[in-house]
């Protein structure tokens, strides 16, 4: 059988963001693949050097559209550490609440995208409809569905009124009922299982070799979660499970993310119930003393790093961002080798790529 090379992207109806694949197929099977990214590289690390720490909060927010809040969290946390600034507890609670709400909305978005890619449009529609519940909570709190502009260096810029808390709980109740429906469907729907079980398998060894993080790593049995391993914000005051699985296929990744949504909802409830009184921010000086900080957070897709070096001025000398999608991209060659072309969208969807994050 002869080999044909099929180019996919950078613009393609199946892709949400631009990236380019060259798939070499023999009949229906992929024999080799090559990947090219960088189509939305905006040079943000360089841009950070030309703006003040204050301005850069908003640049960090715009690295990614889906996980904007965790970027500002990692950035502000790093700058606060360089300043030796103590952030008020109430601010950290608000910050953490938005982190978990963002995780829920990101995972629901992903669930819809995966369902759409395997042809299960019903679940796509329902997932994105129910995601609106979380987006409404975030919009009522911050004014924005994404790009919430909640974080500031020293704390947060919004408050949670006590009389709004019952309304948020009610929305979480509604989402909980919907999650029961989703878990029931994906656990029992035979075509869903047929399309995702045994597809895109990664062993624990492969995950460690490529330094993969997040739900993809956890679905292959690597229990890495910054929220538990190096608790930031107020994760040390919350009770939650780190969800792992052993199968390492798209099915396992689906179960990990779905159960993480349930854990996140539990964390949101704990945060609302234990919200302490107090100020919302500490005053942050504009100039940051010279130093180096490595700030880690657990983004919806995994470990997010902000490395910031300050030189004593009001602008950072260097900001390095490592987003969780980058190591996952390295596994695609292995995942795509030998699979049916029909499984390509499933595998791409299964790893929850965020190319805006990877390219910066």
Partner 1 sequence: MNVELLLQALREVLSAPSLDAEYLPIDETCIAVPAECLRRAVDVLVGRFRVTHLSTITAEDTGLEIVLLYHFWDRRGLTLRTSLPRDGPHIASLARIIPGAIFYEQEVAEMLGVVFDGHPVAASLLLPDDWEGPPPLRRPTGDDV
Partner 2 sequence: MSRRSSLAHLLPELVRTLFARRATVRFPSEPPVLAEAYRGRGVVHAELCVGCGLCVRDCPAFALELEREGRHRFRLVHFEDRCAYCGQCVDSCRQDAIALVSEFPRASPCRTAFTRVLVTHEASEE
Beta-ladder partners of 295 = 306
Q: Is 164 in the site for partner 2 (CB under 8 A)?
A: no
Quick one: what does residue 144 bind among partner 2, partner 1, none, with the CB cut-off 5 to 8 Å set by partner type? Answer: partner 2
Asked whether the beta carbons of 207 and 222 are under 8 A apart, the reply is yes
Q: Which is nearer to partner 2, 186 or 234 (CB)?
A: 186
**Binding residue (CB under 8 A) for partner 1 from 294, 337, 338, 340:** 294
**C-alpha triplet 302, 303, 308: angle, nearest 5°:** 145
Q: Which is nearer to partner 2, 129 or 337 (CB)?
A: 129
Q: Is 47 in the site for partner 1 (CB under 8 A)?
A: no
**Binding residue (CB under 8 A) for partner 1 from 38, 65, 276, 278:** 38
Q: Is 218 in the site for partner 1 (CB under 8 A)?
A: no
C-alpha span between 291 and 82 (Å, rounded): 6
Expressed in angstroms, the distance from the first to the final Cα of the chain is: 40
**Binding residue (CB under 8 A) for partner 1 from 45, 132, 139, 189:** 45
C-alpha span between 138 and 35 (Å, rounded): 35
Q: Is 229 in the site for partner 1 (CB under 8 A)?
A: yes
Asked whether the beta carbons of 295 and 230 are under 8 A apart, the reply is no
Window contacting partner 1 (CB under 8 A); options: 171-179, 187-195, 294-302, 344-352: 294-302
Q: Is 166 in the site for partner 1 (CB under 8 A)?
A: no
Q: 28: which 2 tokens?
A: 């229906």
Q: Is 85 in the site for partner 1 (CB under 8 A)?
A: no
Q: 207: which 2 tokens?
A: 């995950």
Quick one: what does residue 158 bind among partner 2, partner 1, none, with the CB cut-off 5 to 8 Å set by partner type? Answer: partner 2
C-alpha span between 273 and 222 (Å, rounded): 32
Q: Is 43 in the site for partner 1 (CB under 8 A)?
A: yes
Q: Is 291 in the site for partner 1 (CB under 8 A)?
A: yes
Quick one: what does residue 197 bind among partner 2, partner 1, none, with the CB cut-off 5 to 8 Å set by partner type? Answer: none
**Binding residue (CB under 8 A) for partner 2 from 15, 31, 44, 158:** 158
Instruction: Using CB atoms within 10 Å of the CB of residue 123, give its burial: 0 to 12 exposed, 13 to 18 middle, 19+ buried.
Output: buried
Asked whether the beta carbons of 243 and 253 are under 8 A apart, the reply is no
**Binding residue (CB under 8 A) for partner 1 from 122, 230, 274, 278:** 230
Specify the residue for token string 């694949």.
21
């Amino acid at each position: 059988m002869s080999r044909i090379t099929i180019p996919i992207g950078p613009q393609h109806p199946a892709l949400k963001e631009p990236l380019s694949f060259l798939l070499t197929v023999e009949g229906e099977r992929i024999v080799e693949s090559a990947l090219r990214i960088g189509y939305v590289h905006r040079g943000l690390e360089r841009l950070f050097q030309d703006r003040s720490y204050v301005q850069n909060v908003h640049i960090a927010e715009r690295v990614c559209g889906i996980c904007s809040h965790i970027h500002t969290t990692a950035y502000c946390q790093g700058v606060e550490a360089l300043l030796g600034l103590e952030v008020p507890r109430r601010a950290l609670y608000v910050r953490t609440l938005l982190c978990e709400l963002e995780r829920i909305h990101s995972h629901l978005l992903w669930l819809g995208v995966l369902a759409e890619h395997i042809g299960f449009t019903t679940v796509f529609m329902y997932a994105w409809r129910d995601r609106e519940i979380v987006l409404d909570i975030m919009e009522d709190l911050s004014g924005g569905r994404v790009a919430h502009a909640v974080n500031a260096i020293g704390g947060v810029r919004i408050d949670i009124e006590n009389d709004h808390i019952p309304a948020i709980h009610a929305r979480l109740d509604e989402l909980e009922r919907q999650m029961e429906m989703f878990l029931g469907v994906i656990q029992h729907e035979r075509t869903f299982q047929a399309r995702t079980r045994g597809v895109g398998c990664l062993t624990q060894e492969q995950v460690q070799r490529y330094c993969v993080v997040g739900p993809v790593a956890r679905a292959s049995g690597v229990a890495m979660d910054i929220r538990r391993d190096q608790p930031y914000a107020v994760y040390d005051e919350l009770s939650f499970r780190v969800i792992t699985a052993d199968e390492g296929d798209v099915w396992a990744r689906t179960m990990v993310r779905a159960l993480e949504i349930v854990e996140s909802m539990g964390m949101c409830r704990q945060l609302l119930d234990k919200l302490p009184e107090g100020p919302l921010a500490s005053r942050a000086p504009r100039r940051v003393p010279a130093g180096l900080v490595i700030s880690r957070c657990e983004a919806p897709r995994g470990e997010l790093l902000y490395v910031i070096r300050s030189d004593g001025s009001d602008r950072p000398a260097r900001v390095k961002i490592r987003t969780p999608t980058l190591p996952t991209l390295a596994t695609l060659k292995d995942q795509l080798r030998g699979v049916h072309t029909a499984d390509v969208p499933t595998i791409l969807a299964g790893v929850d790529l965020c190319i805006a994050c990877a390219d910066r």
